[in-house]
Homo-oligomer: A and B are copies of this chain.
Amino acid sequence: MVVDSGVADADRVFHALADATRRDILTRVIRSGMSVSELARLYPMSFAAVQKHVVVLERAALVSKTRRGREQIVRGEVEALRRVARLLDGYERLWRHRAAAIEEILKEEQ
């Protein structure tokens, strides 16, 4: 297992998700693959802007691209998504731990 720079990974993933356009692209390409220009037609911005959003998602490993003729098909990668979900689960577990401790204290006080 790669231990190195898991921090930067999380940085990239959360940053990639911190933009409504990118989240929308992600939901679409998870449903089914789409070419970059198909995606670009969906948003009120230039092709270049959408292409850059796709690059950000790609760097975060949230999507992958595969060539099909002159098109580049973008697909959602669920692995990174799962890693983030697990991370958030970790946060929540910590919280539950705290909640349990509080309950313990309240019990003792009664």
Instruction: List residues of A whose CB falls within 8 A of some B CB.
Output: 7, 10-11, 14-15, 17-20, 23, 26-27, 30-32, 76, 78, 81-82, 84-85, 88-89, 91-92, 94-95, 97-98
Determine the residue in chain B with the shortest Cβ distance to A85: B88
Q: How far is the CB of A52 from chain B (nearest CB, A)?
A: 17
* Extra pairs beyond A18-B18, A88-B88 (11, CB < 8 Å): A7-B20, A11-B19, A14-B14, A14-B15, A15-B18, A30-B95, A31-B94, A76-B94, A78-B92, A84-B88, A85-B85
User: Do most interface residues of chain A lie in helix, strand or loop, or is the interface mixed?
Assistant: helix
Task: Report whether A81 and B85 are in contact in the complex, using a CB–CB cutoff of 8 Å.
Answer: no
